[in-house]
Amino acid sequence: MLFDFYGALLTRRQQEVYLLYRDEDMSLGEIGAALNISRQAVHDILRRTEKILSTYEEKLQLVEKFTGIRGKLAEIRGLIESGCEDPAGRILEKIAEIDSLERR
């Protein structure tokens, strides 16, 4: 999920290596052969990329906010579907919780 949020901030090479590894399920050796770089270079790029993505998340917390908001929306959906007493008041509470997540 980190790549989905922050992948555009990576270099083209980092994106390429990461996608080949993650989406194409290629081994380090296969990626190295395809890109004409060493297996060690692929390993280094992947490690650096993961560290960069983690650093972006530590600073921006977009994934954390996104998952929190999705969770609150699921709770709202559950309140609506369950027919609970005073759903409007409880839904407004959940919306306020979403607002606080967005402000962080």
- The confidence score (pLDDT) of residue 75 equals 85
For position 99, what pLDDT does the model report? 80
Give the pLDDT confidence score for residue 78 in this predicted structure.
83
The pTM assigned to this predicted structure is 0.79
d(CA 13, CA 4): 16
- 3-class state of residue 23 by DSSP: coil
17 within 8 A of 44, measured Cβ to Cβ = no
Pick out the chain residues at pLDDT < 70.
84, 104
Instruction: Give the per-residue pLDDT at 18.
Output: 97
Name the nearest CA neighbour of 28 among 12, 7, 42.
42
Please give the pLDDT value at position 88: 76
